[in-house]
Chains A and B, each alone.
Chain A
Amino acid sequence: MSAVSHRTRLTVVPSYRIAVGRGLSILAALNIVAITLTAMGRSPVELAGLIVRSTVGSRFGIEDLALFMTPLMLTGAAVWVGIRVNLWNIGAEGQLYAGATAATAIGLFTNWPTLVALPSMIVAGMLAGAAWIFVPAAARAWLGVSEIVTSLLLNFVASLLVYYLATGPWADRVTGALASTERLHTAFPELWGAVHLGFILALATVIGLGIGLAKSRFGYETAVCGSNPQAAHYAGIGVAPRILAVLLLSGALAGLAGVFEVAGTVHRLQGGLANNYGYLGIVVALLARGSCLALIPAALLMALILDTGIVLQTTQISSSAVLAITGLLVLAIAAGDELAAYVRVNRT
């Protein structure tokens, strides 16, 4: 009858539609990037070849991807456990710093054997990450203060504290490196080139988290609290303690990212260590939607973008290109997810 075919919105979108939608979205975003590069007088084909060669096309590139993925999987998981119950931890950046600082303290001021030092770093880092979100979490649980604002603001506090430590009391007096501590005495063992044990542990954490939440009473109770706090109260589930627990878990995951980053990849506590991993974790979590395991490919995609940015920088393209490409991609994927929910009305 009418020229435009009509569509209706599905309430439950099958995952193959999401997959197709996202494939098309990524293609569209890449095309826009290519057009922009052409307009700048660059050859997109040449640049694409360079990017592929220096990321997935080379040993170093793949190592780099794994190193980027390690913190991204964990900050992604940190944000994801919150979103699952309607809580938004925007402070993964700060909790990552807190975890890294705790690990650094052990790495700089003890001479424990590796088998003792590494587990202690993990425990201390997770506790520090949880401690860094404790006040926002408790305020959210019992006073209803928005965790979005409070967790965000603590990022700046954490970042400045790390700058203070790295330039002040913990500054490297031996080599005189700027805004950095000495090299830690202990490191996560390297398994494959620069890829260290942290990568495997991060993978295992994400997989364990997914299975654990699906098969535990804690996972069920927090899902109820997130979906309808009134129904949780009705069923005798205390909402406030569970909000606190979920946010502390979220902080601990981000803290763990900091441990791996400082004791596995960078080996020194530096200003700017977090490298926006906390904020990019939000993107990773959003890309993963409802599934914890999907955090892994989402982190891989994000790692690819970060790597692409570095490659582009070597060809004199501004480092802000990474942010622009990330934004473009997220926008395209959000639109793709939405459009995937619409099906053409079949008329007979």
Chain B
Amino acid sequence: MRILVVEDEQKLADALRAGLEERHYEVRTALTGEDGFFLVNSEVFDLIILDVMLPRRDGLEVLRALRKQHLETPVLLLTARDTVEDRVAGLDSGADDYLIKPFAFPELLARIRALLRRGRADQILRLKLADLEMDLVTRRVARGDKSIELTAKEYELLDYLLRHAGHAVSREMLAREVWHSSTLATPLDNVIDVTMARLRRKIDEPFDRKLIHTIRGVGFQAASDES
């Protein structure tokens, strides 16, 4: 999978390249809108990550120019301005998704996965991680042959963690995707922590093998081994 990163902040561009390459994506970076535009026209990419605020030619302009050429590559916008108008302007210009700076890297990864998966229907009926099994049809959760009772929120939380198994999940992502809250505030942080603690009490505490891990400063991760 080839990803183009158009970002004028060298430090951020480098960090994105390093982070994405670690996840086995092939990454090209461009520091200006013009370079980015040139690269898109000369090479083939599966996804473009585009900063809105770029010197000389801004991200939205580049995006409009690309869409005018009927380029179908999914585009993820990075923006520091998060008013509704900015979002609408971005999506109207032909963006597929947007992320507000400062964003959490795990969230960027999740968005990239979602965009690359787009168009492919993947009806999942069962989530599995080591001996933990989640039947999405009967909503039964079990570890080995021991059935586990979860509340609705705990169930949703586990569902989300398992769908992103192997990947880190930030509190922001949980707030938005599981708690459906657009604003992240301290109260919700506490709610997430408490719910997570309760989930772990049920899923991990009685067992030797721990499946839900805290990554300090980043968030949480469901994984079959310590990583």
Do A and B pair up? The answer is no
Task: Give A residues with C-beta under 8 Å from B.
Answer: none
Task: Give B residues with C-beta under 8 Å from A.
Answer: none
